[in-house]
Amino acid sequence: MSPSSRTTWQLLIRRLHLYIGLLVAPFIVVAAATGLLYALTPQLESQLYRSALQADSAPGTQAQPLSAQVQVALQSLPTPAVVVAVRPAPDTRSTTRVMVADTALGPSEYRSLFVNPSSLALQGDLTVYGTSGVLPLRKQLDLLHRQLLMGDWGRTYSELAASWLWVAGLGGVALWWLSRPQRAGGNKATLPPLRRWHHGLGLWLLVGLLFLSGTGLTWSRWAGRHFGQALQHMGWQTPRLNTDLSVNNAGAHTHHHPADPHADHAEHQATPMAMPGMANMAGMAPMPQDFDTALALARQHGLASSKLEIRPPAAAGKAWTVTEINRSWPTEVDALAIDLANGQVLHHNRFSDYPLASKLTRWGIDLHMGSWGVLNQVVLVLLGAGIVAMAVTGWLQWRKRSGRRREWLHRQLTLIHQWRQLPRAAALALLLAAAALGWLLPVLGCSLLALLALDAWIYLRPSPQPAQR
């Protein structure tokens, strides 16, 4: 690369990096800070909801039958209720969750009763959210991280941050690479401390930035839709457990429907679903002993995880489901559809049979959410803190620059001017790449057009002084 071409690329990338730092980085910082809080949710919940989550059982005590635990939960309610799901206690030090429908609650909200598996004491009564029974603190932190508590349109902020995070990271590395001749000339030791910190953090965190950006975009509102369509087109979508009794009994249970691997994290924006058991309220509600039968069948057919969720049929003609819900490593997410009337397992959805793309998606989402344990959480906390530190050092560095106003307003430092200095082939390739990325990542495309409109206004206005290259 010739010195002139290197300088043109360096000025173009630096200008884009400046726009990202001043106009997009605030959204990235908010996403990083709220994500940092979300990564600490397990520890925060274990303290905040300790009385509900932890069972006070003597060592060596045996758990009572699951049916007895469900019965205790139902008897504690002033009016009859329909059981939505049951999560048996993984050990005698934890409580069993019995989730029931409550018409006084909002859409996708359920009442969760926490029962001591040994003493059958009721230890908690909380409102949980979504199909996975998210506790109140996690729900609020999740909504804060994803949409700033502003509803579905608030998701644009997090998609904006995820769309530009990888561009900022790669752009910073490109600037570092293009400035090699200056560093080789002996200027490395004279770099200001803020710039050295900014460069160092960017290089060390690059892989993490790309990971957070990529996994965040997979469940975003617009880019995530394109991602899902691509998986479906390639036949790599996650197989859905088939719970239709008539289809299964007809022998067509091998035809799977795609499932949403992002459900745990995206359910807060989902449309309200039919509550399991609502169709059976007129004398057909599941009996407590049915949960014993479903649990026994699941164990007989290979569901060995200590963390299970048992769900009665969602409607008439549907099967019972038992699902492993252990998202840590090794991942345990197998699921069974059971016809409880004859004790037959109709469909076994095995994680080992997932397409590789579905497995990678599952693992990426779980790592993004900190589901793989304390080390996973520590890495996410460090990444979040590093992103905030990188943004702050970048802002301070720009604030200390004496010619920052001239750099901001000078037409010959704009993106448009530098793009026009590129060779025709390079300029055309850059334009096509930007158009393709704008289509794949619609929020990035729309925000890029806004940045280009600002850049065009600066390019067309009179310059404050002659160009300084």
DSSP 399-440: HT-TTHHHHHH-GGGSHHHHHHHS-HHHHHHHHHHHHHHHHH
How far CA 450 is from CA of 20, 55, 75, 269, 432, in Å, comes to 12, 55, 59, 27, 18
- How many angstroms separate the most distant Cα atoms in the chain? 86
Q: What is the mean pLDDT of residues 208-215?
A: 97
Q: What is the mean pLDDT of residues 351-378?
A: 95
Q: What is the mean pLDDT of residues 72-80?
A: 95
Question: Could you tell me if 346 and 337 are in contact, meaning their C-beta atoms sit under 8 angstroms apart?
Answer: yes
Cis status of the peptide bond prior to 181, with omega within 30 of 0: no
The pLDDT, as a whole number, for residue 132 is 81
The pLDDT, as a whole number, for residue 258 is 46
Orientation angle between helical segments 136-147 and 25-39, nearest 10 degrees: 160
pLDDT band at 152 (very low <50, low <70, confident <90, very high): confident
Orientation angle between helical segments 442-460 and 155-178, nearest 10 degrees: 60
Spell out the residues 6+ positions from residue 2 whose beta carbon is closer than 8 angstroms to its own: none
The pLDDT, as a whole number, for residue 1 is 67
pLDDT in tens, 234-268: 888 889 999 999 865 554 444 444 455 455 554 44
Residue at token pair 């290089």: 203
Q: Where are the beta strands (DSSP E) in 204-266?
A: 238-240, 257-259
CA–CA dist 97, 41 (Å, integer): 19
The pLDDT, as a whole number, for residue 4 is 82
pLDDT in tens, 313-328: 988 899 999 999 999 9
The pLDDT, as a whole number, for residue 131 is 79
pLDDT band at 281 (very low <50, low <70, confident <90, very high): very low
CA–CA dist 345, 268 (Å, integer): 31
Residue 366 clears pLDDT 90, i.e. is over it: yes
Quote the DSSP letter at residue 153.
Answer: G
DSSP assignment of 221-232 equals SSHHHHHHHHHH
**Exposed e or buried b per residue across 438-458, where buried means at least 16 C-beta atoms within 10 angstroms of its C-beta:** bebbbbbbebbeebbeebeeb
pLDDT in tens, 388-420: 999 999 999 888 876 676 777 888 899 999 999
pLDDT in tens, 95-133: 999 999 998 998 889 999 999 999 999 999 999 998 788
Average pLDDT, the chain: 88
Question: Could you tell me if 173 and 129 are in contact, meaning their C-beta atoms sit under 8 angstroms apart?
Answer: no
pLDDT in tens, 4-38: 888 999 999 999 999 999 999 999 999 999 999 99
Q: What is the mean pLDDT of residues 217-234?
A: 91
What is the token pair recorded at 150?
């502003």
Half-sphere exposure of 215 (CA within 13 A, CB side): 24
Question: Could you tell me if 121 and 344 are in contact, meaning their C-beta atoms sit under 8 angstroms apart?
Answer: no
What is the token pair recorded at 258?
């795609």
Residue 273 clears pLDDT 50, i.e. is over it: no
Query: What is the edge-to-edge ordering of all strands in the sheet holding 344-349?
Result: 122-129, 109-115, 96-100, 83-87, 308-311, 320-324, 335-339, 344-349
CA–CA dist 77, 326 (Å, integer): 29
Q: Say if residue 15 is exposed, middle or buried (CB neighbours under 10 Å; 0-12, 13-18, 19+).
A: buried
pLDDT in tens, 172-205: 999 999 987 666 655 555 678 888 899 999 999 9
Residue 469 clears pLDDT 80, i.e. is over it: no
